[in-house]
Amino acid sequence: MPLTRRAFLITSAAIPAVAATATLVRAATPPVYMDRNGTAIDGSDAVAYFTEGKPVRGNAAFTHDWNGATWRFASAANRDAFAADPQAYAPQYGGYCAWAVSEGYTASTVPEAWKIVDGRLFLNYSRRFQRKWERDQDARIRAGDANWPSVLNG
């Protein structure tokens, strides 16, 4: 079936609208750092950082899909708490390394390099980078907040 001029014009007019919508969606829900299976923060329980004060491995039996990723939890109670208010428990900067985001790029994280500051969970690439981030934590948070989520476009 040949492409008519009318079909071409309609399709051409729709492409910018679709692209603009995709851009708006991306800006509204920044991506989350996840593994190749779509699991957020290496399968760690985001709620446990707040309730147990340490990283706890999540269980595949207790999951919640949010912001394009699957989040695992150690218990149904933690899953339900997260589902009720994901923004309260999800790590800052989509779970990307807080040091890296403060420097203007993204990097993966490990569950053991973490800190809660003013009720916000921050993860880092390693304990070494965690210590570097903590040396000037307030400035790093300000820089990270200023760079997020635009750092995803770079």
**pLDDT by 10-residue block (mean), the chain, 154 residues:** 52 46 41 92 97 98 96 98 98 97 96 98 98 98 97 86
Residues 144 and 92: beta-carbon distance below 8 Å = yes
The single residue listed with the structure tokens 């008519």 is 4
Instruction: Give pLDDT, residue 30.
Output: 60
Tokens representing 48 are 């446990």
Q: Which of 21, 31, 115 is nearest to 66 (CA)?
A: 31
Regarding pTM above 0.85, the answer is: no
